[in-house]
Amino acid sequence: MNNKERSVALFKEGFCCSQAVFATYAEQWGLDRELFLKITDAFGGGIGGMASICGAVIAAIMAIGLKYGRTRPDDDEAKQKTRTLVKEFVKQFKDRNGSIECKQLLGVDISIPEGLALANKKGVFDSKCPKLIEDAVDILDGILAAR
């Protein structure tokens, strides 16, 4: 199973978008899956269900930081590389999907009860989120492989 398939499978198991993306890489890198499931749970639904930045995007950005982020305050090279890769990721995701904002990506504001009810009624999470997860993982895989 490749990373896209694994991430979508985790989402279909019931994990949120951020968990589905990040847990795939945590497992791949030999990290504590449960810890990262807990950390990334807060980012689902566009940061705690506020329909802000897509959780799959946040998880991919976190993976970039985990792989390339600096561990010393004076490591400007790592800081610049990480920021460059994050900008590249966001650009590619926006090019594919038009936005990184959950409410724009889903076409409904899930941060309000009426919007969440409408999203559930229309099956928005099942119809749109798997593609967004696949796009995030596809872009992330490309970025990680090129470095």
Tokens of 60: 């991919």
DSSP classification of residue 43 = T
- Give me the count of residues in the chain: 147
Quote the pTM value: 0.95
Cα–Cα distance between 24 and 115 in angstroms, integer?
A: 29
Q: How far is CA 55 from the centre of its chain?
A: 4
pLDDT in tens, the chain (147 residues): 899 999 999 999 999 999 999 999 988 898 998 999 999 999 999 999 999 999 999 999 999 999 999 999 999 999 999 999 999 999 999 999 999 999 999 999 999 999 999 999 999 999 999 999 999 999 999 999 986
The answer to whether 136 touches 57, Cβ cutoff 8 Å, is yes
Task: Quote the DSSP letter at residue 111.
Answer: T
Residue 144 CB: number of other CB atoms within 10 A?
Answer: 17
